[in-house]
């Protein structure tokens, strides 16, 4: 065991496989999106999830001021969306396959969709933790998840860990 450094902390937590999601919102007619892999369930009753955003992100203030959020949990075919929204938050939204009649963009072919509103914010170092009350949700049984593991994308079939590497 070693005391934490930024590099060791990042490398160690990269061993925790996560799903990849796109957080979007429509704030007074302006839509932005950001790739997140910090999505986690918090409570079943009431239905709550959390995600975190870095305070120095150029999109931080936009999302902190939003009254509602939409989250698309990405499927294995949507790596291009993750890459796009990791780099830039704006988009020509007509270039993407979106669900119709949604105020905040939700992506077709996603594994799952969540909509909700801010419940609370908590400071956490250089990030803010956003607690979101989920108001609507749906999932697609025919998709497989896009995973992020060891700082790269993976799918369910390609990553089989040998037992001899277990702790």
Query: Two tokens at 148?
Result: 């992020």
Q: What is the pLDDT of residues 24-72, one digit of tens each?
A: 999 988 999 999 999 999 999 999 999 999 999 999 999 999 999 999 9
Q: What's residue 14's pLDDT? A: 87
State the average pLDDT over residues 141-153: 93
Q: What's residue 153's pLDDT? A: 93
Walk me through the domains of the chain, giving residue ranges and CATH numbers: 6-12+20-39+60-117+137-157 (2.30.110.10)
Q: What's residue 10's pLDDT? A: 86
Separation of alpha carbons 82 and 103, rounded Å:
20
DSSP 74: P
Query: Two tokens at 83?
Result: 């890459």
Contacts of 102 (CB under 8 A, 6+ apart): 70, 115
Q: What's residue 144's pLDDT? A: 93
Residue 4 pLDDT level (bands cut at 50, 70, 90): confident
Asked if pLDDT for residue 151 goes beyond 70, the answer is yes
Q: What is the pLDDT of residues 80-129, one digit of tens each?
A: 999 999 998 777 888 899 999 899 999 999 999 999 999 999 999 999 99
Q: What's residue 125's pLDDT? A: 95
State the average pLDDT over residues 145-153: 93
- Beta-carbon neighbour count of residue 106 at 10 Å? 20
Q: What's residue 167's pLDDT? A: 52
């Amino acid at each position: 065991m070693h005391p934490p450094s930024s590099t060791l902390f990042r490398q160690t937590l990269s061993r925790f496989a996560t799903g990849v999601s796109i957080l979007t919102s429509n704030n007074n007619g302006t839509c932005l999106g950001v790739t997140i892999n910090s999505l986690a369930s918090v409570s079943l009753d009431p239905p709550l999830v959390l995600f975190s955003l870095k305070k120095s992100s150029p999109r931080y203030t936009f999302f902190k001021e939003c009254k509602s959020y939409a989250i698309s949990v990405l499927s294995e075919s949507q790596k291009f969306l993750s890459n796009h929204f990791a780099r830039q938050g704006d988009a020509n939204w007509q270039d993407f396959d979106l669900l119709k009649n949604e105020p905040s963009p939700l992506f077709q072919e996603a594994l799952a969709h969540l909509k909700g509103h801010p419940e609370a914010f908590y400071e956490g170092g250089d990030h803010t933790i956003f607690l979101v009350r989920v108001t609507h949700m749906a999932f697609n049984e025919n998709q497989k998840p896009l995973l992020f593991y060891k700082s790269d994308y993976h799918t369910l079939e390609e990553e089989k860990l040998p037992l001899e590497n277990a702790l």
